[in-house]
Structure 1
Amino acid sequence: MTLTEYAWGYAIRREWPDGTHDLFGFTADAATVTRRLNRDQGFWRSGPVRPAAVYVVPANAADVGAHPVDGCRRSGCPDSPKRGQR
């Protein structure tokens, strides 16, 4: 086992209308993930292509690091929004 297998924190999950998702931006700091979430939501807000949802999930560093860059449909990826986040 490596240290990243034990590292828990937060990541951003971006859901797309076609059912795929992205998982990125792992950090153990809640303030950092909140800033990243706000920046990501702001980026997509005015564009012609928008994700169906963008939210924070509790995640393991190893899962985020091994996650496909785009187009993931795996059901085992972290997907429960962190309470209190949007």
Structure 2
Amino acid sequence: MDHARTWTAQFLNRYATEHRHSGLGRHTPATVHQGTAHLIRQDRQHHLHCYYAQHPERFRRPPRAPDLPGPTGINHHKLSQTG
């Protein structure tokens, strides 16, 4: 039982802090939750811009860092728009 708890804790820690998720714009759940994902995206975009400036022949169009994820959840309700 202790081995299973240790393994699960290590797995969940890696999953939340190291694994970059495609559904989160290649960010980790931790950076999205902590609110630092926008800074990381800005840094990525800066590096892509610099690389494009040095080697535009390698691209069809300027590269763009993945968008940040929007709000998610299971209990979000659309606000009714009444006039």
- TM-score, normalised by the number of residues in structure 1: 0.34
Larger C-alpha radius of gyration, 1 or 2?
A: 2
| Higher RCO (C-alpha under 8 Å, 6+ residues apart) | 1
Q: Which has the higher strand share?
A: 1
Q: Which has the higher helix share?
A: 2
- TM-score, normalised by the number of residues in structure 2: 0.35
